[in-house]
Structure 1
């Protein structure tokens, strides 16, 4: 039997997602193979990940995030912003109210400004942070270790003064599965300081197994380490990614990630049982 499933394709600074909700399909029907096929850029819809959102109950909307390879991910910063746009579009939330999305790592607030930029609150898990031995990483010339942060998911952060590092994807692939990070591995980020309050970030994402145009938790991890290591003068850092500009802000003891998000298209996919 065939069933037609509506979906939305949403990008947040080039990080793109397939959004489904529980009015059309139960999360239990999403198999890793199905998710992998839908995220395939040649034979499927194409995306960095798939997000299932529960909206039909009386409780706070809850998101389940899946990587493009079909594996579960605990959190996704740009995915949160994409879900926020979806909830606003279908009328579940209103931009003038305080709104929340629940993810595996807890409850996240989100806001929308007059220009349509969506900001989400991100949560830290400092208990899972670790000291990394730079020598064990065997980093190439021009690349330095900055640190490691757990922003929902693990992020190794490296630093360079080079305008462009051509072998970043190769380096990211090697470090992503380094024994220091255990079976789960890590995401790998490379930053370059543009000025005191602006950084450029590239991210190799596990689960996608490649460099993405943007990674919300990654740029947040990079911003946190910049505040710790370089003490920039501002509580808001501008982050340049391949997919656009993000802002990471410390405000009233909370950590916010903000930037644009857009609906690329909506469509229907045939689910064959």
Structure 2
């Protein structure tokens, strides 16, 4: 069992050259700033909303994303993301990658495919964002929607730390299918049937059964009529739903009649959603407690065959709009491998389960 180190030592060392230390709230931190964590200043590579204006998910190059909920010791950077610090300030405590072959799994959750590394020690680190861009390339790499790093933190009870890096090198603060694939691998490797998965500071429950793998998704702000766009000549409203990451959802008559890539890309970069952007979902009611979904995913910058957090967002919005009742809903996708979304028994208003198949495609070794 690994004990968690305290986040703050008794005294704070001076900030690195190029910074001026001060205490600031999450809303004041910017990309390129330094935040003091676990005994060292960490440079913020990117950030995401944490579902509330008061919190931020901070993303670093060489450690897991972290949710900043209160004021911390920080310092602005004298370097830019386009001009890295020559004195090493951009990576203050680097863990140099070791030269050895890494085994990986190619795995997909209902068509959403990943390169999964799950046998790394806690002390092994790398610039996974850069690796994700290289490995996920469809023509020159292994090819995938994302790279998933899963580490066992504790085995009784079972706890894993999961990080997901999108194909464009950005960090996913929530990816339901990546969590489901990680839970499947933990069941295969360690025999766990129930476990906790921690992604970007949020703990998700996971249950593995014979036919499906289930994980929880936390539902944040739901805003009706967030923005409007013209689709096939018709003005269409998009509602927004935060399911661990940003989503907008449009209810349409026929999802197959929509150019999901063209419309999705326009809405994803809509000025009303700047600077974070969003995932874009098109949803059609296909019968009692059934939906059909297409998703343009931010970070992949393309339509994916399935999206777990998008399925949850679709069900939340469809429930708000009266298209489905507050019970299990089947969400059909482009892969033809439906996901099921249902409210959590103990927390039905803020937590949903999303479950479905996971397929292990092949294994390999990264040179």
- TM-score of the superposition, structure 2-length normalised? 0.67
- Tell me the residue number matched to 2:183: 84
Please list every run of at least 4 consecutive aligned residues from structure 1 whose deviation after the TM superposition is greater than 4 angstroms. 24-27, 56-59, 129-133
Question: 1:221 and 2:313 equivalent?
Answer: yes
Q: CA deviation at 1:251?
A: 3.5
Question: 1:94 and 2:94 equivalent?
Answer: no
1:61 counterpart SS class: strand
Question: 1:4 and 2:97 equivalent?
Answer: no
Distance 1:27 1:240, change over 3 A: farther
RMSD over equivalenced CA pairs, Å = 2.1
Distance of 1:111 and 1:39 partners within structure 2: 27
- Tell me the residue number matched to 2:339: 246
Greater Cα shift, 205-214 or 14-23: 14-23
Question: 1:125 and 2:220 equivalent?
Answer: yes
- Tell me the residue number matched to 2:64: none
- Tell me the residue number matched to 1:178: 270
For each residue in 1:108-127, what CA deviation from the matched residue of structure 2 results, as whole angstroms up to 9, or x when unmatched? 1111223x31111111222x
Distance of 2:139 and 2:121 partners within structure 1: 25
Larger radius of gyration: 2
Provide structure 2 residue ranges, at least 5 long, that are not aligned to the other structure.
Answer: 1-97
Question: 1:148 and 2:240 equivalent?
Answer: yes
- Tell me the residue number matched to 2:3: none
Distance of 2:120 and 2:300 partners within structure 1: 27
Which structure exhibits the higher relative contact order, with contacts defined as CA atoms closer than 8 Å and separated by 6 or more residues? Answer: 1
- Tell me the residue number matched to 1:168: 260
Question: 1:36 and 2:36 equivalent?
Answer: no
Question: 1:74 and 2:166 equivalent?
Answer: no
* Contact 1:10–1:19, Cα closer than 8 Å, also in 2: yes
Q: CA deviation at 1:165?
A: 1.8
Distance of 1:8 and 1:25 partners within structure 2: 19
* Contact 1:238–1:247, Cα closer than 8 Å, also in 2: yes
Q: How many residues align?
A: 263
Question: 1:109 and 2:202 equivalent?
Answer: no
- TM-score of the superposition, structure 1-length normalised? 0.89
Distance of 2:122 and 2:136 partners within structure 1: 17
1:45 counterpart SS class: coil
Greater Cα shift, 158-167 or 139-148: 139-148
Question: 1:62 and 2:161 equivalent?
Answer: yes
For each residue in 1:79-107, what CA deviation from the matched residue of structure 2 results, as whole angstroms up to 9, or x when unmatched? 1100001111111x422xx3111111511
* Contact 1:60–1:101, Cα closer than 8 Å, also in 2: yes
